[in-house]
Amino acid sequence: MSGAEERCAGHDGLDAELRALARAALDRVTPVLDRVRSAPAGDAAAGDQPCAVCPVCAVIAALRGERVELAVRLAEHLSGLVAVLYTALDEGSGEPEPAPDPPPPAEAGRRVVQRIPVTRTGPRR
């Protein structure tokens, strides 16, 4: 298949359906990430948590509803990824845009230059 005109007729509209499915999934994930990022700091004493860096303990504490720094940082990064995915979904079908037309060629034998003003700010040598 060489182009868009040779598409399978059985899959017309599949890209729109996949975009809608992805958008629905992102819409469901976004409130969870926002809740984890904005959860208030816990009042737990230092002895209540067995460790602060173990991923297993962090998952267990997050399941208990406690604010875990690892979960908060992960939610912040995932929120950025979700924003990028929303942008990608909004941009279109993902097909590359055509390249702009090249500028007209300069006259033969003539060089085209751009003048750039230079301002010296320091002492001159």
Q: What is the count of structural domains for the chain?
A: 1
CA distance 48 to 65: 14
Judge whether 59 lies within some domain: yes
Note if the pTM is more than 0.75. no
- Does residue 1 surpass a pLDDT of 50? no
86-125 pLDDT, tens per residue?
888 887 655 556 666 666 665 555 677 788 888 888 777 6
Judge whether 121 lies within some domain: no
57-83 pLDDT, tens per residue?
877 877 787 777 777 888 889 899 999
Domain extent, residue 82, equals: 15-91
- Per residue in 92-124, is it b (16+ CB within 10 Å) or e — as a string? eeeeeeeeeeeeeeeeeeeeeeeeeeeeeeeee
**C-alpha to C-alpha distances, 43 to 17, 38, 67, 105, nearest whole angstrom:** 45, 15, 9, 71
Judge whether 125 lies within some domain: no
> What is the reported pLDDT for 64?
80
> What is the reported pLDDT for 108?
56
CA distance 61 to 65: 6
Judge whether 39 lies within some domain: yes
Judge whether 49 lies within some domain: yes
Judge whether 30 lies within some domain: yes
